[in-house]
Amino acid sequence: MKLFVFSLALALGLLASSLASAAIVEHTLNVKNLTVERLCNRHVITAVNGSYPGPTIRVNEGDTLVVHVLNNSPHNITIHWHGIFQLLSGWADGPAYVTQCAIRPKHSYTYRFTITGQEGTLWWHAHSSVLRATVYGALLIRPRRSYNYPFLKPYKEVPILLGEWWNDDVVELEDKVTSTGEGFPPSDAFTINGLPGNLYNCSQNRMFSLKVMQGKTYLLRIINAAVNTELFFKIANHKFTVVAVDAGYINPYVTDVIVIAPGQTADALFTADQPVGSYYMAASPYITQAVPFEDTPTRGLVVYGGSSNSAAPLMPSMPAFNDTPTAHKFYTNITSLPTKFNPHWHSCPLSVDEHMFITFSLNLEPCPENTTCLGFFGQKLSASMNNESFVVPNGRGMSMLEAFFNGASGVYTADFPDKPPLEFDYTNQNLSFDQSLLFAPKSTKVKKLKFNSTVEIVLQNTALLGIENHPIHIHGMNFYVLAQGFGNYNATRDEAKFNLVNPQMRNTIAVPVGGWAVVRFKAKNPGIWLVHCHFDVHLPWGMTMAFEIENGPTPSSTLPPPPADLPKC
């Protein structure tokens, strides 16, 4: 009896400590037009709280985040909290017409969710139209109060948001390419914390600068907020120790180059251990598709205290734009930190309930009659997963999540295929322009999953309209990355490569160019969860599907009703 009383008191004490360490963190994001000067011109962009990028949100694990979004822009808007699990709070996930209808101009909506079991760097961004080109910001999750990092505390933490800049209005650009069916034009510049750096016209004084003290260690919280481009990131004469990716701790990985796909994050320690002076940090593109692109790196400065302005800063030697070996080495050398040092690590499940094989392709869509289209063969460009080209259910009266909650039909169907309808030599570039393979039907389909089932997916690139590295993002959960490789996946050969001991965990994976990746996850979060390529140009084309995860057997595993102020369609 005494043992029971002691155990109960201990449990209640731990619970009280946990509750006491959590807080309600409240922010207001005011979305409106902002005039900025970039690349010799004044531009009107959509931005948040009068800044580009938007404000950094800082929380601790266990906190509840309450964010009031005021839409004073001329566009419909939603905000996605990229990488947040949204456990039983799927109404706050954000993708337009998937988990909510858009916030209309002159309207508002309050996002409410608790951050559970996550530490590290994530971010928030618009998930409607291509507005995330300028509507984004960092979301930094520190350990629960009184807890520590699994590495020595850095002297300072610095968000580094890598982005892309267009001189044209991005919404008008998207409308143009949607109507003509052509490809999205390349950006005019890359940016570090919204600034292009001094290699671009009229940008000598528009460069991010980080002042450091010699001997001190800094934690860079790096986010690729670019719309369509993977990036290499370096600091001249310095090395990084990467300690986390996608808000998951990893075994410390020492490297002089970080490779990061749109949507991904990396937490990297670097020590100011070089002679006093100035050193450029730089980001340059990693491009695997034969398309036009901006090849000028964006630069910032690392300036040591006490350095003079007389010596020219050192510039890092950047990888070639198509340096796949360097990218693959980085992406595949990451492993998760063991449980002893990682409070949120769970062992990879060894048994699998659902096996899926998902191909993703660029495709064509028939050009409407009496219209001139600028895609290949005079058609419109499209994209698909398993030859199904996803259509967001705008105009169907409710979001997909509302249809799930209400058991309503007519918004989506639950017949997304477990494998492609046709097997072929997926990565054979001789088939890239085979018109018999290029057209995919438009649909809004989901794959239905039982609560708490374990799902394994082979993500397979194809060579249709060219080979490419695609960043695939899954909403509502992290997944284990078991293996990655080139060519067509072959289970007999490639299962032997699976890491089931300490695989890296991601919410976004850069599937190798002309290759594959195998991921695994537990479907323990009921609701509708989008799966899509995080190149924004590919999302409206249809390189998307969704999971419908059924409710669990208890009230604590059942999606609650929608908030009263949820935007209506």
Closest CA to 82 of 125, 112, 142: 125
The reported pLDDT for the residue numbered 59 is 98
Whether residue 196 has pLDDT greater than 70: yes
DSSP state of 462: -
53 prior amide bond cis, ω within 30: yes
Say if CB 263 and CB 246 are below 8 A apart: no
First to last CA, the chain: 58
Whether residue 4 has pLDDT greater than 70: no
The reported pLDDT for the residue numbered 20 is 52
The reported pLDDT for the residue numbered 148 is 92
The reported pLDDT for the residue numbered 8 is 40
Instruction: Record the tokens describing residue 128, joined without a space.
Output: 């409607």
Whether residue 12 has pLDDT greater than 60: no
The reported pLDDT for the residue numbered 5 is 38
Whether residue 197 has pLDDT greater than 90: yes
Q: How confident is the model at residue 395 (pLDDT cuts 50, 70, 90)?
A: confident
Mean pLDDT on 355-364: 97
Instruction: Record the tokens describing residue 503, joined without a space.
Output: 């695989």
The reported pLDDT for the residue numbered 310 is 73
The reported pLDDT for the residue numbered 536 is 84
Nearest 10 degrees: Cα torsion 328, 329, 331, 336: 150
Mean pLDDT on 180-191: 94
Q: How confident is the model at residue 412 (pLDDT cuts 50, 70, 90)?
A: very high
Question: Residue 104: is it exposed, middle or buried by C-beta count within 10 angstroms (0-12/13-18/19+)?
Answer: middle
The reported pLDDT for the residue numbered 410 is 95
**CA 442/CA 421 separation, integer angstroms:** 15
From 64-78, 192-206, 336-350, 438-452, the region with the lowest mean pLDDT: 336-350
Q: What is the pLDDT of residues 237-275, one digit of tens each?
A: 999 999 999 999 999 999 999 999 999 999 999 999 999
Mean pLDDT on 481-495: 98
Whether residue 146 has pLDDT greater than 50: yes
185 prior amide bond cis, ω within 30: no
The strand pairing partners of 249, in sequence order, are 244
Whether residue 496 has pLDDT greater than 80: yes
Mean pLDDT on 316-332: 97
Whether residue 10 has pLDDT greater than 50: no
From 333-347, 398-412, 472-486, 490-504, the region with the lowest mean pLDDT: 333-347
- The identity of residue 159, as a single letter, is P
Tell me the CA distances in angstroms from 423 to 6, 426, 460, 519, one per residue in order: 62, 8, 12, 21
Mean pLDDT on 279-284: 98
**pLDDT, the chain, mean:** 94
Whether residue 1 has pLDDT greater than 70: no
Whether residue 228 has pLDDT greater than 80: yes
Say if CB 464 and CB 362 are below 8 A apart: yes
Whether residue 289 has pLDDT greater than 60: yes
Whether residue 210 has pLDDT greater than 70: yes
Whether residue 13 has pLDDT greater than 90: no
Mean pLDDT on 443-466: 97
DSSP state of 430: G
Whether residue 62 has pLDDT greater than 80: yes
Which residues make Cβ contacts (< 8 Å) with residue 168, sequence separation at least 6?
185
Say if CB 363 and CB 464 are below 8 A apart: yes
Which residues make Cβ contacts (< 8 Å) with residue 56, sequence separation at least 6?
137, 138, 139, 140, 159
Say if CB 319 and CB 326 are below 8 A apart: yes
The reported pLDDT for the residue numbered 553 is 96
The reported pLDDT for the residue numbered 14 is 40
Q: How confident is the model at residue 98 (pLDDT cuts 50, 70, 90)?
A: very high
The strand pairing partners of 66, in sequence order, are 26, 112
> What is the CB neighbour count within 10 angstroms for residue 518?
26
Cα 557 to chain centroid, rounded: 26
